[in-house]
Amino acid sequence: MKIGILGSGDVAQTLAAGFLTHGHEVMLGTRDPAKLNDWSAQHPKARVGSFADSAAFGEIGVLAVKGGAADAVLKAADAGRHLAGKVLIDATNPIADAPPDNGVLRFFTTLDDALMERLQRAHPAVKFVKAFNSVGAALMIDPQLPGGRPTMFICGDDAGAKATVTTLLAEVGWDSADMGVAAAARAIEPLCMLWCIPGFLRNDWVHAFKLVSPA
């Protein structure tokens, strides 16, 4: 597939490199292409362009920016035009610009309205699917953990979009657990808080969630 990634930070670069390894075409969208010069030199098959370029390029998109910048980036990408009808993996979290409290991140949303819900309402033509938000970048692609394949919790309003994301997740080493419609992001986004606590308190960043069900 052609995958357009909106973002140029660690998450965006990690996902882009991983998708390239699995045979996909990738374009990173950024405000400042020059900041990716070193990364591009290491990944010559990747493309770099504006947010709009990346959104238009992708058959599927990934939103991998700070939560507070997500809506502005989607507007810069002209999401209503370039992402209309497309699957957009939402890897963002609504992390506030404040320090953690005893290892617990602060969010700028409430448990009654997730960031992805806000983005879905603002961009109704886009098929948002929450994924890749509940684990660190180092484990996003082909995680190798003693407990086996970890679980990525996903949600979204479009069943076909979630099926597409489930297939992509399986390709890069993840089981998926579909938690339902976009409102389930109210529960999935705070998994970021839980995942980060061992890191902030004990410098343990090598772990992931796994849903255990009856055989």
**Per-residue pLDDT tens over the stretch 160-203:** 999 999 999 999 999 999 999 999 999 999 999 999 999 999 99
In whole angstroms, what is the distance from residue 100 CA to residue 112 CA? Answer: 21
Domains of the chain: 2-202 (3.40.50.720)
The conformational region for residue 103 under phi > 0 = left, psi -120 to 50 = alpha, else beta, is left
The beta strands (E) that lie in the chain are given as 2-6, 25-29, 47-49, 60-63, 87-90, 127-130, 151-154, 175-178
Write the DSSP symbol of residue 113. B
Angle among Cα 65, 67, 73 to the nearest 5 degrees reads 55
In whole angstroms, what is the distance from residue 33 CA to residue 49 CA? Answer: 6
pTM > 0.75: yes or no: yes
Task: Give per-residue pLDDT as tens, 48-60.
Answer: 999 999 999 999 9
Q: Is the pLDDT of residue 28 over 90?
A: yes
In whole angstroms, what is the distance from residue 35 CA to residue 81 CA? Answer: 26
In whole angstroms, what is the distance from residue 81 CA to residue 52 CA? Answer: 9
Q: Is the pLDDT of residue 63 over 80?
A: yes
Burial of residue 159 (CB within 10 Å: 0-12, 13-18, 19+) is: exposed
* Nearest to 29, CA basis, from 13, 43, 44: 13
Q: Which residues contact 34 (CB under 8 A, 6 or more apart)?
A: none
